[in-house]
Amino acid sequence: MVLSLDTFSENLGIALFSEDKLIYHTSVYKFKPFSEFLVKKLDDIFNELSLDKREIKKVIVNKGPGSYTGLRVGISIGKSIAYSLKIPIYAYDSLSALAYKYRFVQNSILIGINAGKGEIYSQQFLTSLEGIKPLSEIKLLKKNEFLNLTNNFKIIIIKNVDLQGNNLVKDIEDLSIIGTEYALKNELVEDVYMLEPIYIRGL
């Protein structure tokens, strides 16, 4: 069984897979204190489904960028599960997972994720049915800087960003499902001791 945790936005995404099939998925608002909320939510899910956590063979987490507190909690709990069960932990970045989700566009796309403080995490990708190719590094942009880039793209994918435009696609789903597909396909295994959230601000 594969457990996937997505904690990068205001919503918590949890997905469970068995033999490559999705057997459970939920997306709920993250209540505080989030660490306690996530632990209880996982306990409730496994009790509801009559599953044993020892059945987990892989853990997958979102490492950001995004809500740093949420990411830190999700990664910490994911690492604890992986360490205690002696199983691998996989991690994907949120911008790449979003780009992979829209790979059918088969063109260059711009991704934007709310970074708070009027700023946006942004990255450019070339997408194809075979996968994605980054065309830029992850950047932290002011909203007007991001808007200036949008004219160069037919499709712009935004997450929790308050912008309007004919070429803007607002993605509202969590990444626990598509992130799992992306992480496993690309074998994004991490060192359980070294894995940390992606932190862009201040660099």
Domains of the chain, start order: 2-93+174-190 (3.30.420.40), 94-170 (3.30.420.200)
Give the CA radius of gyration of the chain: 17
Using 70 as the pLDDT threshold, list the residues of the chain that sit under it: 202-203
CA distance 7 to 198: 13
pLDDT at 190: 99
How far is it, in rounded angstroms, from Cα 10 to Cα 18?
Answer: 27
pLDDT of residue 203: 44
pLDDT at 115: 94
Confidence (pTM): 0.94
pLDDT value of position 167: 86
Q: What is the pLDDT of residue 154?
A: 87
User: Which CA distances in Å does 110 have to 105, 106, 107, 167?
Assistant: 11, 12, 10, 10
pLDDT of residue 200: 86
User: How high is the pLDDT of residue 189?
Assistant: 99
